[in-house]
Amino acid sequence: MADLGYIAIVLAMASALYAAAACLWGQRRGEPQLVASGRNAVFAAGGLLTLAVLLLVYSFLVHDFQIRYVAENSSRHMPTLYLITSLWGGHAGSLLFWTWILSMFATAVTYLYRDRHPALLPYTSAVLSIAQSFFLILLVFLANPFEKLPFIPGDGLGLNPLLQNLGMAIHPPNLYLGYVGVSVPWAFAMAALLSGKLDAGWIRATRRWTLLAWLFLSLGVTLGGQWAYVELGWGGYWGWDPVENSSFLPWLTGTAFLHSVIVTERRGMLKVWNMLLIILTYNLAIFGAFVTRSGIIDSVHSFTESSIGPAFLAYIALSLIGSLLLLFRRWDQLRGDHQLEAILSKEAAFLLNNLLFLGATFAIFWGNIFPILSEAVRGVKVTVGAPFFNQVSAPIFLAILITMGLGMLIAWRRQTISSLVRSLRGPVSAGIVAAIVLWLMGVRLPPALLGLSTCVFVGAVTVREFYQGTLARHRLTGEPYSVALRKLIARNQPRYGGYIVHLGVILAAAGIIGSQAYQQEAQAVLGPGQAMQIGGYRLVFQGFSELRNENLQLIRANLDVYNDQGRYLGRAEPAKELHFVRPDQPMTEADIFRAIGEPRTLFLEDLYLILVAASPEGTATLRAFINPLVNWIWMGALILIAGTAVAAWPEASEARVRVPRGAPQPAGSPTRF
Amino acid sequence: MVATSPWVRPRTLAQGLILALAAGLITLLALGLSARAPKAIVGNPAPEFELELFDGGVVRLSALRGNVVVINFWASWCGPCRDEAPILVDAWHAYRDRGVVFIGIDYVDTEPEAHAFMQEFAVDYPNGPDKGQRIARQYQITGVPETFFIDRQGRVAAHYPLPLTRHLLISNIELLLTA
Amino acid sequence: MAKASATIEIARRWANPQSAKFVVGGAIILAAFAYLLFTATSSSLVFYHTIDEVIAQGIPVGERIRVAGAIDKDSIEWDAERDTLAFTLFNPDNPSQRIFIIYRGLVPDTFWTSPHVIMEGEYTPGQSFVADAMSVQCPSKYVRAEIQ
């Protein structure tokens, strides 16, 4: 089994290398047959990698501990689901999984566009195959997941219990889909540079791929945060850990890219900028993998045993410098069709927004590599902690929020100040009203007040876009409002999908501001029958209960929760968990208390409970947090998914144009964005 | 700002800046990486060390050239080490007269606990604390237990970052003795 | 030829008051950004020190530092009521070098089994090290945890 798997990887490497060479040469020399055989090699590599992944999964399922990776990452006593997810529980396996995803993207792109973009596609396939070859070379020579042990252990070491939960089963694949997904727009961009077809064709071809990758990156960031929040039991969701940051960086530049391509499509500007952003996004995605795998920055997540750090760095150097040189070659051909005309224009707002995103990227990157920087320059190891990141990102993200609102308001090309003031009047008053209401409700911290009222301002701008559009359609066509709204969105899905995403982001931003500014915390040692108070809740400890199965032992503290009127709300059960395979690692299972009868626990705040310790005498040490608005972050993420789906949904608007329902269609072709 | 000089074209200036930034970054990362670059252990001469033993003596690895050496990193707080200890002790008794030396290196531990551990399993091969985790760093261990097999020429023949089984321990020693 | 036209192009662009606005705007943004980065960096530096450095050199008052050391398990006192953990950290190279730690905050599960720990906070010579962050990088291969 192990040999077969290794052979599959070696053959996949050969196929990918051949695919890259054949597509490049074939296209250069104009030999379609060579290109066609290169394309087949792309499919072959995809098939072989699929085989390798299936073989490894199978080895996990049958406990083939002769394979070192299986022995180090699973044990006989694991549920089937986690046996499968052990595939990406360790180092060599996640590399294989990553490469497999990349090969699937390469196969999909090569297959789906086989008849389109004949000038671009061979180059795209070639670039994707080159990227794939790199990872395959690593797998073959440095991190073989099918490496055999010289003996067969009776049982494996098992998977880290922190990774044995549903979140961790989903999180890595999802993040990899995002990291790897940006390869597609990057490969198209490189293809455009290689072929000299520099019009917006590559942007249009990759729009959905970019959105898809961006969606997965967004999910990766939020799911990672949610996992930390629910599983790690420290009451927070984002610790500015180097690996967390690394997943955030490509998201930032990817978001900037999504916006700057709009300007290119509408006005033929910012072309160099687009290229730079996608190059940066791709390399930051690889950098994310590099940080995780090389242990170059001390992190909770890093796997320091890895010897492939230098290889990764060499690849970053190659792809970064290579992409940049390609870009420089075509620099003059990428001149914009128009000049920026006025500061008060959508173009300028987009540019400013892009600069801010880039600034945030740079600042977080700076904080991330600061220990390396200081060690190299001054010889001392100095870090900057969470305060740095909070201090830097708060003003930048506030500015991004404000430009988000302004960007939606301002017209393309130029806008007069007086008309801007007119359109600002409504949303700004909404923001001011919100600030006053919040002040009266007791929100007095200036940053929170400013941040939340900005959210209301941007929200008002966004809602008004929908409102005005629907109203105009209603007046024009006489459709009922609900139909008008639906058709408004269907007419220009990218634009209104984007606005829905904005709503999600605003909601998440409000959640972040609320939970950062108004977290409450209390700790108490309780005997049976004793109670503690926090934020209008009374918690009465009713003793422990214990649960045992073949895998683990669970000690729960039973807490009756009452509100400040003394009404019983329900039971909370924070717990400690002991996995028998690894008894030296107890785990804290936080409980986030929710009660249907108490709406604030559903919509406004989390009552977050941790069992710190259970004494043999029967007393419990408990820590309780009130985390306001944390839910909004996850709700914002859901809205963001919905918005992205609307923006990327394929045929809806086209289909509607083809089948008119009698209602008069407004003139003009459907605009993208 | 620099571009006001008519002799510098903004194109090349921008490109130069971007390239310099990229190159600088890569250099920086390379520097950072080389600061903690792991070199291959297996197949290379075993890193030299001197270990002060719990019972007062000193062991120097190079002085054992010509013997097969089994270096085991352990700690009293480590669960799998407890399973491994009797296996190691048995093998030591079986091979001590055949040109095989065992060295136990106690990784990040407190002395009373370490002594209790050694007493419990009757560990009687040379054993000492890894002060400042110097040896651990030289051998780039990622945890305990880990075991290294050194051949008669002083090269690292094998490295196991896992608790050993009896079979594995003995087959490795036999392999090196017959080589 | 191309060079000359490019130069004229630049001259025209720079003479344009509209462009000047963008340049000034860009410069302001850049300056604000640089200032933000600088102040945030300098106010949140955390230096790594070893225990003998802390004892021998003395650390400037108010400087945030990180100190790694081995935990003296017998010294651990935990006051659950007041949420305070007190223990002695010693230099594994030289166990007579010890500093007394007072920590308020969440104690990660791994603290109790880990032989060493990294503490972050401020140190006053002659007194104790008041820490508000703890990282346990457990050397056992499957245990790595950190609490912010």
**Domain limits of chain C?**
2-43, 47-147
3-state secondary structure of A443: coil
pLDDT digits 0-9 by tens, A297-356: 655 444 444 567 788 889 999 999 999 999 999 888 888 777 777 778 888 889 899 999
Please check whether residue A585 touches C, CB under 8 A.
Answer: yes
**Alpha carbon A288 to chain centroid distance?**
12
Query: What HEC string does chain C produce?
Result: CHHHHHHHHHHHHHHCHHHHHHHHHHHHHHHHHHHHHHHHHHHCEEEEECHHHHHHHCCCCCCEEEEEEEECHHHCEEECCCCEEEEEEEECCEEEEEEEEEEECCCCHHHHCCCEEEEEEEECCCCCEEEEEEEECCCCCCCCEEEC
For residue A514, pLDDT over 90 is answered with: yes
Of B61, B39, B65, B59, the residue nearest B48 (C-alpha): B61
How close A359 gets to chain C, by Cα (Å)?
7
Q: Are residues B28 and B74 in the same domain?
A: no
pLDDT digits 0-9 by tens, A474-493: 999 888 999 999 989 988 88
How close A373 gets to chain B, by Cα (Å)?
7
List of chain B residues whose C-beta atoms are within 8 Å of the C-beta of residue C72: 110
Chains that touch A (3 or more CB pairs under 8 A): B, C
Tell me the residue range of the domain where B55 lies. 50-178
Q: Which of A35-44, A373-382, A495-504, A557-566 has the lowest mean pLDDT?
A: A373-382
Rounded distance between C-alpha atoms, residue A33 and residue A37, angstroms: 6
- In this complex, do A585 and C120 lie within 8 Å of one another by their Cβ atoms? no
- Prediction ipTM score: 0.75
Q: Which two tokens stand for residue A338?
A: 């128009």
Of A69, A65, A20, the residue nearest A42 (C-alpha): A20
pLDDT digits 0-9 by tens, A404-443: 999 888 888 877 888 888 888 999 999 999 999 999 988 8
CA angle A439-A444-A450, nearest 5°? 80
The answer to whether the beta carbons of residues A261 and A278 sit under 8 Å apart is no
pLDDT at A90: 77
List of chain B residues whose C-beta atoms are within 8 Å of the C-beta of residue C2: none
Q: Is residue B28 one of the residues assigned to a domain?
A: yes
Q: Are residues B79 and B156 in the same domain?
A: yes
The answer to whether the beta carbons of residues A246 and A297 sit under 8 Å apart is no
Beta bridge partners of A623: A523, A610
Q: Are residues B131 and B54 in the same domain?
A: yes
Residues 6+ apart with CB under 8 A from A500: A639, A640, A642, A643, A646, A647
Strand intervals (E) in chain B? 50-52, 58-60, 68-74, 100-106, 127-129, 146-150, 156-160
Q: Strand pairing of B100-106 and B68-74?
A: parallel
User: Please, is B56 exposed, middle or buried when counting C-beta atoms within 10 Å of its C-beta (0-12, 13-18, 19+)?
Assistant: exposed
- In this complex, do C92 and B132 lie within 8 Å of one another by their Cβ atoms? yes
Q: Which one of B110, B132, B143 has the shortest CB-CB distance to C139?
A: B143
Q: Strand pairing of C129-136 and C94-104?
A: parallel
Q: What is the mean pLDDT of residues B100-114?
A: 86
Q: Are residues B143 and B168 in the same domain?
A: yes
A140 pLDDT band, cuts 50/70/90, is: very high
- Helix locations, A182-308, DSSP H: 183-195, 201-231, 242-267, 271-294
- In this complex, do C115 and B10 lie within 8 Å of one another by their Cβ atoms? no
Rounded distance between C-alpha atoms, residue A104 and residue A115, angstroms: 19
How many domains would you assign to chain B? 2
Domain A1-164: state its class: mainly alpha
Q: Is residue B146 one of the residues assigned to a domain?
A: yes
Q: Which of A41-45, A284-288, B1-5, C93-97 has the lowest mean pLDDT?
A: B1-5
**Alpha carbon A246 to chain centroid distance?**
11
Average per-residue pLDDT in chain A? 86
If one counts every other C-beta atom within 10 angstroms of the C-beta of residue C56, the result is 9
Q: Are residues B24 and B55 in the same domain?
A: no
A250 vs C58, which has greater pLDDT? A250
For A382-408, give one letter per residue: b (16+ CB within 10 A) or e: bbbbbebbebbbbbbbbbbbbbbbbbb
- In this complex, do A372 and B37 lie within 8 Å of one another by their Cβ atoms? no
The answer to whether the beta carbons of residues A179 and A285 sit under 8 Å apart is yes
Q: Is residue B13 one of the residues assigned to a domain?
A: yes
- In this complex, do B110 and C6 lie within 8 Å of one another by their Cβ atoms? no
- In this complex, do A153 and B165 lie within 8 Å of one another by their Cβ atoms? yes
- In this complex, do B22 and A321 lie within 8 Å of one another by their Cβ atoms? yes
3-state secondary structure of A563: strand
pLDDT at A97: 94
pLDDT at B9: 61
Sheet holding A520-526, edge to edge: A520-526, A620-628, A605-614, A591-593
- In this complex, do A585 and C83 lie within 8 Å of one another by their Cβ atoms? no
Rank A356-365, A370-379, A485-494, C134-143 by mean pLDDT and report only the highest.
A356-365
pLDDT at A199: 86
Instruction: In chain B, count H helices and then E strands.
Output: 5, 7
pLDDT digits 0-9 by tens, A611-655: 887 877 888 888 899 999 999 999 999 999 999 999 988 754 444
Rounded distance between C-alpha atoms, residue A272 and residue A266, angstroms: 15
CATH of domain C47-147: 2.40.50.140
CATH at residue B139: 3.40.30.10
Residues of chain A with CATH 1.20.120: 1-164
Q: Is the peptide bond before B145 cis (omega within 30 degrees of 0)?
A: yes
- In this complex, do C10 and B144 lie within 8 Å of one another by their Cβ atoms? no
pLDDT at C5: 56
Rounded distance between C-alpha atoms, residue A605 and residue A624, angstroms: 13
Which stretches of chain A sit within 8 Å of chain B by CB?
Answer: 71-72, 150-151, 153-154, 157, 276, 290, 294-297, 304-305, 307, 309-310, 313, 316-317, 320-321, 324, 328, 331-332, 369, 372-373, 375-376, 582-584
Per-residue pLDDT of chain C (148 residues; tens, 9 = 90+): 445 555 555 555 555 556 677 778 888 888 999 999 998 888 888 888 888 888 777 677 677 888 888 888 788 887 766 678 889 888 877 778 888 888 887 777 767 767 778 888 887 766 678 888 887 754 444 333 333 2
The answer to whether the beta carbons of residues A185 and A206 sit under 8 Å apart is yes
pLDDT digits 0-9 by tens, A201-229: 888 888 899 999 999 999 988 888 888 88
Q: Are residues B87 and B6 in the same domain?
A: no
3-state secondary structure of B106: strand
Q: Are residues B67 and B106 in the same domain?
A: yes
Q: Is residue B42 one of the residues assigned to a domain?
A: no
Rounded distance between C-alpha atoms, residue A582 and residue C142, angstroms: 9
Chains that touch B (3 or more CB pairs under 8 A): A, C
Rounded distance between C-alpha atoms, residue B95 and residue B70, angstroms: 11
